[in-house]
Amino acid sequence: MSWIGVCDASQVKEDFPFSGNVEGKAIGVYLVEGEYFALEDVCPHAYALLSQGFVEDGKVECPLHEAVFDVRTGSCLHGPGGRNLNSYPVRVFDNQIQITFIPESVP
């Protein structure tokens, strides 16, 4: 498994996810109860950056049309999201958030 550096762990806050481009993919990194999670960062409904949405209780709400996704799994919980998001394995190595592109998507 190949791990790719995304950001420094200090760049991710519980109420302020990190948004970045990793190998051409928009990725959002979230911190929930001390654990990091990585999701594709684009809402499948209207292509807004989810990391710019409202984050609370392990959920992120799209800033455009209120689709809500579970940060831990990428599951679309309600709204016009249309499908689940790809989620990616995360590890912290030398205070750096790293991901791999082997999706852990929810069917």
- Residue 88: give its domain's CATH number: 2.102.10.10
pLDDT value of position 24:
93
41 vs 19: CA distance, rounded Å? 7
**Is pLDDT of 53 > 60?**
yes
Domain that holds residue 70: 4-99
More reliable by pLDDT, 77 or 1? 77
Give domain status of residue 93, yes or no: yes
Give domain status of residue 105, yes or no: no
Q: How far is CA 59 from CA 32, 48, 56, 104, in A?
A: 9, 16, 5, 17
**DSSP characters over 36-87:** EEEEE-B-TTT--BGGGSEEETTEEE-TTT--EEETTT--EEESTT-SPPPE
Confidence category of residue 106, pLDDT binned at 50, 70, 90: low
Give domain status of residue 38, yes or no: yes
Give domain status of residue 106, yes or no: no
Confidence category of residue 105, pLDDT binned at 50, 70, 90: low
Q: State the average pLDDT for the chain.
A: 93
Entry pTM: 0.91
Confidence category of residue 81, pLDDT binned at 50, 70, 90: confident
- How many domains does one find in the chain? 1
Give domain status of residue 70, yes or no: yes
Pair 88, 104: CB distance under 8 Å: yes
